[in-house]
Amino acid sequence: MIEYSLPYLSNNVQDIGLRWPLRNMFLFNEFNYNQLITGPSGQTFPNILATPGLAYLSYHFEIALGTQFALNNVSRPGNHAAILGLLDIFYDSIFPKAGN
Find the range with the poorest average confidence among 7-16, 17-26, 72-81. 72-81
Let me know: does 26 contact 58? Beta carbons within 8 Å. no
User: Residue 99, exposed/middle/buried by CB under 10 A (0-12, 13-18, 19+)?
Assistant: exposed
List pLDDT tens digits, range 57-80: 988 899 999 998 888 887 776 656
> What per-residue confidence (pLDDT) applies to 78?
61
Distance CA 27, CA 58 (A): 15
Any residues with CB less than 8 A from the CB of 95 and at least 6 apart, and which?
none
Find the range with the poorest average confidence among 3-12, 57-66, 77-86. 77-86
Distance CA 67, CA 54 (A): 10
> What per-residue confidence (pLDDT) applies to 17?
84
Residue 44 CB neighbours (<10 A):
13
pTM, entire model: 0.72
- Is residue 12's pLDDT more than 90? no
